[in-house]
Amino acid sequence: MKYTLLLVVAFLAASFVSGAPTTNDEDQIIITTDFFPDELSVYSSQNDIISITVPLNSINFEDNDDDSDPDIILFFVEADLDNGEVKEYKGLYRYKNGTATKMLDDGTSSTASIDDSKLAFFGAKSGIYVYDNEDGSVKKYGTVDDSVIDIVKLNGTDALYVLTEDHTVYKVTEEGNKKVAVDGAKDAQQIMLDYSDNVYFYGPAKKPKVVTENGVQEILGLPENPAQVRLIKPPFVIENGVVFIVDNDIYTIFANGTSEKTDFKLDAKPTASAVEATLIQYYAYNKKIYEYNILTIILGELFDELKTFLEEKAEDIQSIATRSRSGFRA
């Protein structure tokens, strides 16, 4: 892939979730149902889609790949929801070349590192599994047999973090054969990894914290007593932070314990988001998956309000156009 083009568009995606702090309500862009037109839908289900992963390794992006419009492979999980909470998992799927294939009946989550491998890792009620894109196989990984409800993969190592059904966070090493509980991450409800391998989580009080090499730190500057929150993996140009949805507002939270509100507000709230690939983004809404090619938005007629907002970032886009995705690899 031509990375100069990718990174120009990457900043546009980063602007979407990490704009300057909002001081005027008139500057906000409100995400409504109009942002989910039928023509952008690529998959429809009987169930809610609760997570989407776009691998940034060689499953989708090989360094010698000159294809500027690749067929993206993604993984997603379906479930029945009750007031936004998972009532029953309905399987983990791979979406490839326009076709969705169930990979695990009891799959709950998926992850992949930024490296040259063609592997992805799945969390499931029966433990951890590894997917090999060379042959499309899914095999049990290691000896961990806990019921895993969330999983993230570190870069440059075989280590994983998993969240089990009893809300314990473990670091899993030695090819899935050793697990150690993470101190300070008690009662975690969700986990997320940034591109510097810092781990973010929140507990029942919905206050996010970050685990770094210096220990556990609470994120400051967020609203009190939110009804719903969600961690989202950011575009890869954001190294030391992740996206945090607080009710209808979008924040970026950082490894240094700070937070920043963006210019976007959610009137229509996706049940899952995948913005990490930056060039192409995916959102789940009302039991459908929507594909957004950012260049198409910029050059086309869809979403005039969003297009104007992104065009205003032209000077900033130029300043990072020479950065390389490979610089985020361990």
Domains of the chain, by residue range, sit at: 3-314
State residue 26 phi and psi, 5-degree precision: -70, -20
Higher pLDDT, 59 or 263: 59
- pLDDT for 22 beyond 70: no
Give the pLDDT score at 258: 97
Which residue's structure tokens are 């010698």? 64
Average pLDDT over residues 284-289: 97
Average pLDDT over residues 207-225: 96
Q: Is domain 3-314 classified as CATH 2.60.120.1130?
A: no
Higher pLDDT, 197 or 68: 197
Q: Using a pLDDT cut of 70, give the percent of the chain over it.
A: 78
Q: Residue 296 contacts by C-beta under 8 Å, 6 or more apart in sequence?
A: 302
Average pLDDT over residues 204-218: 96
Q: If you ran DSSP here, which 8-state letter would residue 267 be given?
A: S
pLDDT by residue (tens digit) across 100-148?
Answer: 999 999 999 999 999 899 999 999 999 999 999 999 999 999 999 999 9
- The CB density around residue 242, as the number of other CB atoms within 10 Å, is 25
**201-to-59, 96, 126 alpha-carbon distances in Å:** 27, 30, 22
**Residue 302's pLDDT band (cuts 50, 70, 90):** low
Q: Which two tokens stand for residue 4?
A: 């100069």
- pLDDT for 328 beyond 60: no
Report the candidate in 37, 20, 30, 32 with the shortest Cα–Cα distance to residue 297: 37
